[in-house]
Structure 1
Amino acid sequence: MKKSLANFRTLAASGALALAVVAGPAPLAHAVGEGPNYDGNGQITTSKLATYEQMVSFLKDQDARQPAMELEVIGQTVKGRDIHLVKYISDPAKPTILYLTQQHGNEQLTTEGAMEFIKHLGAGKSADILKGVNILVVPMLNADGAMGDVNFSLENYLAKGDRNLTRYNAEGVDLNRDHVAKVQPETQALHNKVMRKYRIDYMIDLHHQGTRAERDGKLVSGSILYPTTPNADPAVVEKSKQLGAVVFNNVDSTGWGHLGKYQGGSAETISRNGISVEYGIATLLFEMRGMSDHYLDGYALGQRSNGYLIKQTVTTLTSTAAAIADGSIADADTSFWNTLAEQTSRPAGEAEDE
């Protein structure tokens, strides 16, 4: 059933029309790198980002509207917020992909994009995708951090007059360093109720990085990376590289997307590495440009970038689900990784790790 991804690119691009309602006008083709850096000027605004309560209301509404969708609570955060899993499983024998967002609570545009993707899956035009793939989405793992409901001071965070969003969970722990010990309730929920419960073939872990990463002298809209631990099965790494090829081909070619190779470590405490080794799953890290809030200049990005970064997320999720559904991912050419330049950082700041 192999066919061109062109028709699915149309589906991904059509998300921009819906996004215009949520995030303002669709971005122009020259949007790469043009979002306003903070750098001590202007204002970081988070009031237009969905709160945890708004996200839950959205998920419940979509669950009621979509026969193919099932909503499951997989656990609770430190502060007792339910952690949700969105499921589209019609046949366990089909390949399954997991999309994970907001391990870091100050990286929210991936969650906004995941919500838009979920809405698209309820439309008739996505029926072909759901026929060939099972889809799992954890749309906000770190809800406490996303709401700034934490047990440490946020007085130095940049979003003034709005809610603050923090990288860490309520106990000040980086959840993306907890995939070996699995101490935190959020990480335990992910592993016990998702990773060990479902037969997952692919995972994309969606994050944000700083604003100053560039490739070939041009600011990136995001960066990607496969598992780099030496303990990863080479066959799994190759499948991960194929997942990255689908993302690169569908994002970097748009005119508003410009991707680099992320400079990431080999520690298995990081989900990209640890999950790949523990479960034999092909994993891909996608780091979008700029964070929703931070305590350091050079990391948070002004809200005028929201539209194209959300669109980038929708394109990523739609194109990879489509490629798995129609089998074309097996033909994805991974040779581009050999020449894809690692991102570098412009002076005055470096991108924060995963």
Structure 2
Amino acid sequence: MGDVAGCTLSTHSKEVRTVRKTFRTLAVSGALALAVVAGSAPLASAVGEGPGYGDNGQITTSRLTTYDQLVAFLKDQDARQPAMELEVIGKTVKGRDLHLVKYVTDPAKPTILYLTQQHGNEQLTTEGAMQFIKHLGTANSSGILDGVNILIVPMLNADGAMGDVNFPLDDYVAKGDRHLTRYNAEGVDLNRDHVAKIQPETQALHNNVMRKYRIDYMIDLHHQGTRAERDGKLVSGSILYPTTPNADPAVVQKSKQLGSVVFSSVDSTGWGHLGKYEGGSAETISRNGIAVEYGIATLLFEMRGMSDHYLGGYALGQRSNGYLIKQTVITLASTAAAIADGSIADADTTFWDSLATQNSRDGGEEDE
């Protein structure tokens, strides 16, 4: 009897794994199809060797979504998508509404939060999040939403993204409609405010998202400089789990699993070349502070290049936008699918042991 039962259980387990794999493959395939629409760069270009500032002549912002365009997009999608709910969680220093996109059907289901543009000059992650939101309104995403709650905070630093700040941006390199800056209107780095929580943007995030919803996972999406490399090849991005010693080991393990899903979906499939980010242990940073304060598994993803900067070497030419937006969409879709079907629990974290920490070709990179 024991042998028969064991055989039945083994067969059932194989069937479950097959269903999970099929489900996740379909979900990610849909995202890949969407990502191709998001940018025209071919797969062969989806690596870190894309053109930098000097290769592209100038950095322009005219193709990037403005705050008003983002709000119009969110309201339009909210009207179109029955599963989506749009909530205002607070205001910026300059009085702009901050939005939370919600796909929450059952609080008992696992929940993931995607956070973009804490730094206003790191916008391609927001562009990717917009494509992902549109994707969630299609039939291809129905299975994902059955298994996971999704929260998205796009453009947390809306003032910085619009260049509407109380300090000069004359030395920034972008041309076009506006400058974009790392800091909020008061010149504060929001990703150094997760302990004191002084700025209105940070307060809105913590008071009306982190403390209001039971969140299991968070991916904090950023951009870094253009010269980071791994194994002698420029990276398209880098990832890191919480590194503060105060983080619960179980939370760190779940964070590593989240990173495993991202790495296997992006790096090993040829859509990017990822390194391990060299980040600090300060809990003022969301990756560390949120993991400790709320017990949430967190992952930092740093995309290559910034949309604007006062140092030309940190900004990236517009011809790289396509593959970076693709990389964002794949990251969001693959992690949502893995949580929805439960396969994240089986994610292999041993790759972290051999993943090389990136280094800079010319020394020094922007902090997360």
TM-score, normalised by the number of residues in structure 2: 0.93
Task: Give the superposition deviation at 1:191.
Answer: 0.1
Task: Work out whether 1:11 is the aligned partner of 2:30.
Answer: yes
Take 1:88 and 1:274, find their aligned partners in 2: how far apart are those partners? 25
Take 1:181 and 1:246, find their aligned partners in 2: how far apart are those partners? 32
Alignment-derived partner of residue 334 in structure 1: 349
Task: Work out whether 1:178 is the aligned partner of 2:197.
Answer: no
Which residue identity does 2:285 align to in structure 1?
A: I
Take 1:67 and 1:31, find their aligned partners in 2: how far apart are those partners? 34
Take 1:321 and 1:142, find their aligned partners in 2: how far apart are those partners? 24
* Superposed CA offset, 1:27-52 (max 9, x none): 33243123221149710011000000
Take 2:175 and 2:331, find their aligned partners in 1: how far apart are those partners? 31
Q: Within 5 Å, which residues of 2 pair with 1:264-279? A: 264-279=279-294
Conservation of the 8 A alpha-carbon contact between 1:40 and 1:297:
no
Task: Give the superposition deviation at 1:127.
Answer: 0.3
Task: Give the superposition deviation at 1:253.
Answer: 1.9
Alignment-derived partner of residue 245 in structure 2: 230
Which structure shows the bigger proportion of residues in helix conformation? 2
Indicate the percent of aligned positions where both proteins have the same amino acid.
Answer: 82
Alignment-derived partner of residue 206 in structure 1: 221
* Superposed CA offset, 1:249-268 (max 9, x none): 00002323000000000000
Conservation of the 8 A alpha-carbon contact between 1:69 and 1:88:
yes
Alignment-derived partner of residue 158 in structure 1: 173
The structure 2 residue matched to 1:49, chosen from 64, 67, 72, is 64
Conservation of the 8 A alpha-carbon contact between 2:47 and 2:235:
yes
Which residue identity does 1:12 align to in structure 2?
A: A
Alignment-derived partner of residue 160 in structure 2: 145
The structure 2 residue matched to 1:301, chosen from 313, 316, 329, is 316
Residue 298 of structure 1 aligns to a residue whose secondary structure is helix
Which range moves more in the overlay, 248-257 or 83-92?
Answer: 248-257
Alignment-derived partner of residue 70 in structure 1: 85
Alignment-derived partner of residue 182 in structure 2: 167
Residue 29 of structure 1 aligns to a residue whose secondary structure is helix
Conservation of the 8 A alpha-carbon contact between 2:49 and 2:233:
no
Which residue identity does 1:335 align to in structure 2?
A: T
TM-score, normalised by the number of residues in structure 1: 0.97
Task: Work out whether 1:31 is the aligned partner of 2:40.
Answer: no
Take 2:122 and 2:50, find their aligned partners in 1: how far apart are those partners? 16
For the structure 1 residues 75 and 29, does the alpha-carbon distance in structure 2 shift closer, same or farther, using more than 3 Å as the test? same
For the structure 1 residues 40 and 65, does the alpha-carbon distance in structure 2 shift closer, same or farther, using more than 3 Å as the test? closer
Task: Give the superposition deviation at 1:346.
Answer: 0.4
* Superposed CA offset, 1:121-170 (max 9, x none): 00001000000000000011000000000000000000134310000000
Take 1:138 and 1:300, find their aligned partners in 2: how far apart are those partners? 24
Take 2:113 and 2:79, find their aligned partners in 1: how far apart are those partners? 22
Q: Which runs of 4+ in 1 moved over 4 A?
A: none
Residue 260 of structure 2 aligns to a residue whose secondary structure is helix
Alignment-derived partner of residue 139 in structure 2: 124
